[in-house]
Amino acid sequence: MITFLIPTIDRSDIIIKYLYYLKENNFNGQVLLGDSSNKEHYQATEKYIRRLDCDYEVKQFYFPNMYPHLCIQGMINEIKFPYSMYIHDDDYLILETLYKCIDFLDSNPEFYGVGGKAIACGINENDYNKIDSAWEYRVSEVLLETAVDRIDELMKNYSVINFSLARTKDFLARWPSDKSIQDRGIGGEYLPAAMLAAQGKVKMLKDLFVVRQIHSRRSLLPSYFDTFLLPEWHPSMKFSLEYVSKHVAKIDSIPYEDAYKMVKAAWQNYYTNVVVKKHYHIEQKSSIVENSKIRNFVKSIPGLKLMAQLSMKLKNKVIRKSNVFLPSLLNSNSPYHNDFMKVYDIITRKTLD
């Protein structure tokens, strides 16, 4: 019923746990593994797959030193099921919620993606079998009526809406095979997200959908300034604007020139906003000295000091009661406890059966 497309590189220990997790939770779909690892990691995963006794099909493809979106393009013709999803090798999907997503898509043809609650887990840098913390990872819905408005909404309030299940026929259009797309961020995230918003609405269910691992071995994108200096960024951006605009023009029945103008403006607003936020974050760091002076002033006045302490205690109390922090998730009273524990058990397990 579902095909997962999972790029991976030099993290055989992590992807092996993922494959084991799918087996333990009785997944019976298809896994296409785009492996860009070195020889040692590739062979370790290959060896595990050979002896893996499971109900799902798994195919490992060798794509040395290839970006994730190029791995997707190399595997896309192998998809055999009507529902598909691209997911990282360290982000666990909750299968029961996935099945609810299928039911939702079947009943709501105007929606082109559906996901749910996302939780991020901070993994101990010295022990990858230990979770130090957990918090909510924001993913937004996209619910406006036109393609132009949905892309504008996405870019103004950006989140990784790619964490959502799709019909395969719609999923294919988000991964065009064009040599112009060489930028990792555009090809692997921004273009697919923009295309998803152009195609239709995106729903996020209240159920836990994905548990992300945040760890020191993640492959991060360069800074935006460094990205703009890369020779592959301009042709990737140019192709993406044109490609998305053609689809928007068709979906909204508007002239291509109008679609291009509005798609370009939305994308430009996104980059402007993130650069401003980065600058604001730097300014916040530079104001540490000023903040310390304020704290010293508060400490010098007994009444203000007591109020500040009470405020901090209240804030900590609210955090402890949240459903998406680690102590709460480990408590059986949390609505996400049962689903989270399926992932927690695999991540924290030192040896597999």
Span 149-184, pLDDT tens digits: 999 999 999 999 999 999 999 999 999 999 999 999
pLDDT tens per residue across span 91-148: 999 999 999 999 999 999 999 999 999 999 999 999 999 999 999 999 999 999 999 9
Q: What CATH number has the domain bearing residue 63?
A: 3.90.550.10
Do 226 and 106 fall into the same domain?
Answer: yes
Query: Residue 184: inside a domain, yes or no?
Result: yes
Return the H-helix or E-strand segment holding 34.
strand 30-35
Query: Residue 183: inside a domain, yes or no?
Result: yes
Strands 111-123 and 57-62: unpaired
For residue 58, which of 67, 47, 68 has the smallest C-alpha distance? 47
For residue 237, which of 188, 181, 192 has the smallest C-alpha distance? 181
For residue 72, which of 184, 210, 198 has the smallest C-alpha distance? 184
Do 277 and 311 fall into the same domain?
Answer: no
Largest CA distance in the chain: 69
pLDDT at 50: 96
Residue 247, C-beta contacts closer than 8 angstroms, at least 6 positions apart: 147, 173, 195, 198, 199
Domain boundary among 54, 73, 89: 89
Do 130 and 141 fall into the same domain?
Answer: yes
Low-confidence ranges of the chain (pLDDT < 50): 279, 282-283, 285-290, 294, 298, 308, 312, 314-321
Query: Residue 353: inside a domain, yes or no?
Result: no
Residue 22, C-beta contacts closer than 8 angstroms, at least 6 positions apart: 31, 54, 56, 95
Query: Residue 210: inside a domain, yes or no?
Result: yes
Do 34 and 121 fall into the same domain?
Answer: no
How far apart CA 309 and CA 112 sit, in angstroms, is: 47
Do 218 and 143 fall into the same domain?
Answer: yes
CB atoms within 10 A of CB 341: 14
Do 19 and 153 fall into the same domain?
Answer: no
Domain boundary among 89, 114, 149: 89
Question: Which neighbouring-strand residues pair with 134?
Answer: 121
Are 5 and 89 a contacting pair, CB within 8 Å? no
Domain boundary among 71, 89, 107: 89
Do 132 and 280 fall into the same domain?
Answer: yes
Do 67 and 104 fall into the same domain?
Answer: no
pLDDT at 221: 79
Reduced to 3 states (helix: H, G, I; strand: E, B; else coil), residue 29 is coil
How far apart CA 76 and CA 7 sit, in angstroms, is: 12
Domain range for 318 is 291-334
Question: 255 φ, ψ to 5°?
Answer: -60, 145
Strands 201-214 and 111-123: parallel
For residue 85, which of 176, 177, 1 has the smallest C-alpha distance? 1
Do 146 and 271 fall into the same domain?
Answer: yes
Do 170 and 209 fall into the same domain?
Answer: yes
Number of domains the chain contains: 3
Do 297 and 206 fall into the same domain?
Answer: no
Query: pTM of the entire structure?
Result: 0.86
pLDDT at 92: 97
**Angle of helix 39-50 versus helix 12-24 axis, rounded to 10:** 20
Question: Which neighbouring-strand residues pair with 84?
Answer: 3, 166
Query: Residue 199: inside a domain, yes or no?
Result: yes
Do 76 and 190 fall into the same domain?
Answer: no
